[in-house]
Amino acid sequence: MKSTNHADTATGEKLIAAARGAALNAHAPYSRFGVGAAVLLTDGSMITASNFENASYGLSLCAETVALASTSASGKLRDVVAIGVIGGAMDTGGVPRGLTPVSPCGRCRQVINEAAQMGGRDIIVWCGAAEGNAMTRYLLSDLLPDAFGPADLGIF
C-alpha cells in the first residue's frame, strides 16, 4: 500500500465541513437521518454526496456509496485518498443535528475497499458528527480487516 500525507487534522476538518454541506441535500424523507460524505482525491479536489433513499426502503443508498459511485463515474476511483462522513437526525428544516460521530456502515466499508484496492492505498476515513468538533480518524484496514477483494477472485 502507498503511504499518504493527507492524514492531518486540517484535511479531516475540510472533509467534514464538505460532508456537512452535502448532507443538506440528503434525500432521506423516510429515516429523517441525513448523511453527507466527501471523497478526497490525490489532486486535492473533493467529490461530495448525500444519502439517497427510496420509497422501496431497501433500495436506499448511503452517502459514502453515492460519493464513490460518482467518483468512479468521474474516472477517479484510483485516486481516492480519504473520505469524510457525517450524519444526524434531521430537524424540521431538514438539517442534520447531533454530536455523535457516524462511521460507515458495513456495506459502505466494502465499497470504500473497492477504491482502496484500485488505488493501492489504505484510505483514511474521517468520522464526524452533524454538529460540534468531535472527529475520529481511522484507516479502512482497521474498519474492515481481512477484507474481501479482487485478490480473492484471483484478479490483480
The catalytic residue positions are: 64
130 binds ligand THU (CB under 6 A): no
105 binds ligand THU (CB under 6 A): yes
Binding residue for ligand THU (CB under 6 A) from 48, 51, 71, 117? 51
CA–CA gap between residue 91 and residue 98 (Å, rounded): 10
CA–CA gap between residue 112 and residue 127 (Å, rounded): 14
CA–CA gap between residue 105 and residue 135 (Å, rounded): 17
64 binds ligand THU (CB under 6 A): yes
Closest-CA residue to 48 (of 38, 40, 57)? 38
Binding residue for ligand THU (CB under 6 A) from 16, 18, 35, 125? 35
DSSP letter (8 states) at residue 114? H
108 binds ligand THU (CB under 6 A): yes
CA–CA gap between residue 156 and residue 146 (Å, rounded): 17
- The nearer residue to ligand THU, 65 or 117, going by C-beta atoms, is 65
Give yes or no for a contact between 19 and 45, defined as CB atoms under 8 angstroms apart.
no
- The nearer residue to ligand THU, 104 or 119, going by C-beta atoms, is 104
- The nearer residue to ligand THU, 41 or 143, going by C-beta atoms, is 143
90 binds ligand THU (CB under 6 A): no
Q: CA angle, corner 100, sides to 53 and 133, nearest 5?
A: 115
- The nearer residue to ligand THU, 44 or 97, going by C-beta atoms, is 97
Residues binding ligand THU (CB under 6 A): 28, 31, 33, 35, 51, 53, 60, 62-64, 104-105, 108
